[in-house]
Copies of this chain bind each other. A is one copy, B any other.
Amino acid sequence: MDFKGFAGKAKESSFKMASIPCSVRDYALLEIMKSLDESSGRIFRANSEDLDRAKAGNLPGPVVNRLKFDSNKLKEVSAGISDLTKMPDPLFNIVFERELDKGLTLCKTTCPIGVVCVIFESRPDALIQISALCVKSGNSCILKGGSEAANTNRALFDVIYNAGTRAGLPEGFASLAENRADVDGLLKCHESIDLVIPRGSNSFVQHIMENSKIPVMGHADGICHIYADKSADVEKAVAVIEDAKIQYVAVCNAVETLLVHKDAAAPLLPALKARFDLKGVVLRGCPRTKEIIDCESATDEDYRTEYLDYVLSVKIVDSLAAAVSHINKYGSHHTDCIMTEDREAAEEFMAAVDSAGVYQNCSTRFADGYRYGFGAEVGVSTGKLHARGPVGLDGLVSYKYKLYGDGHIVADYSEGRKSFNFTQAL
């Protein structure tokens, strides 16, 4: 495959996408929605083939479940597209406007990023969500889905692409890469691809982050912490820790390590152990923890592990500062929570913990674009540049500076014939 050519076409298309008005982008989204509905028979047949192949290949049950694309899924993604069409245009917004001098006006204006390459795993609904987000934000997208869903992805892509171009989007506004080997080729196209968003396992995301010069938005690990401060309310703490651990264990915003202030350990740990014994959660404690409750031993390796399982490591610390140090050292800068009734302690924790989400008295499981009220999300970013935390539509835009003059030259200002006179309008 000629990757440079493939990515170059997406780039060409992105320059056209940057000028498409919101009315056309929204119309295209509605046409895509309609077309998905009209083509549902073909899509479901393609999905059956993928499902049959998955079952024949003895793929694990959860993979087969995620692969399934039925009328319920179609309804869900259609509702998502419909919501997107109702959202305000993320493009062409004037972030600020400033007259630098008479007749010389600077506008900082939002614009698309350009070409976004999204690499995702088995769920075919992700393909629809992502391409819809890219259409709304004026980005060209390159999509690479899981090979288990190859037939479904191809069917969905054809429908989306044809409906989109018929509705006025430029050729190449979306493209589909179909082989696993394509990923490494695409990662080398830093001249055409502006952003890679990988969604998948730790090791997969890590691989991408380490093998591309293209900026990557996403997260590898999710090692989230809850710190029970000395003024924590025991009952609230137990309920929040339980929710954060087991409401859904296999997810990046589940808690993996509990830190407990030494003065909170005696009341909290026995109550937590009683609850977790009932729920089948294994505790792994530091030596001081084991003096209070009976549990397995935690090693340094435990504090670096994203269990994604019914296991929680527990460590007693001497102070809030020690908790912050532990989190900043072992954590993944995703989401960390303090349980405390002391607002000042909460603020200290929230300022010093270097994570995308810093919480007081609530479950780390809230870290999610839907729960934040963002609508659809492209992913969760643990980076600190550009978008951080759950990333919605506004993580898919950049900005440019427009300067309108009437023959203005710099020499007039540097040689003192004119001077700047900054007036902020917005």
Contact = CB atoms under 8 A, between A and B. Distances in A.
A414 interface: yes
A98 interface: yes
Interface in A98-147: 98, 100, 104, 106, 111, 113-114
A408 interface: yes
B372 A240 contact: no
Interface stretch (A77-85, A176-184, A288-296, A344-352): A344-352
A19 B328 CA distance: 14
A16 B352 contact: yes
A371 B243 contact: no
Contacts of A16: 352
B398 A243 contact: no
Nearest to A421: B373
Given A100-B372, A385-B386, A351 B210 contact: no
A204 interface: no
A14 B325 CA distance: 12
A75 interface: no
Interface string A384-426: 1110111000000011111111111111011000001010000
Copies of the protein in its oligomer: 2
A351 B18 contact: yes
B352 A19 contact: yes
Interface stretch (A66-74, A160-168, A357-365): A357-365
Contact of A400 (B240, B324, B325, B357): B357
A383 B215 contact: yes
Given A19-B352, A215-B215, A240 B407 contact: yes
A355 interface: yes
A362 B247 contact: no
Nearest to A138: B351
A405 B359 contact: yes
Interface in A317-338: 324-325, 328
A170 B372 CA distance: 34
A104 B363 CA distance: 11
Contact of A357 (B248, B324, B350, B403): B403
A310 interface: no
Interface of A: 11, 14-16, 18-19, 98, 100, 104, 106, 111, 113-114, 194-195, 209-210, 213, 215, 217, 233, 235-236, 239-240, 242-244, 247-248, 324-325, 328, 346, 348, 350-352, 354-363, 365-367, 371-373, 383-386, 388-390, 398-411, 413-414, 420, 422
Given A15-B328, A194-B385, A360-B404, 4 more contacts: A239-B409, A243-B409, A361-B408, A362-B405
18 contacts: A18-B354, A100-B366, A100-B372, A106-B372, A194-B385, A215-B215, A236-B407, A239-B409, A243-B411, A247-B410, A363-B409, A366-B405, A367-B401, A372-B401, A373-B420, A373-B422, A384-B398, A388-B398
Ordered nearest first, which 3 A-B pairs have the shortest CB separation? A362-B405, A243-B409, A236-B407
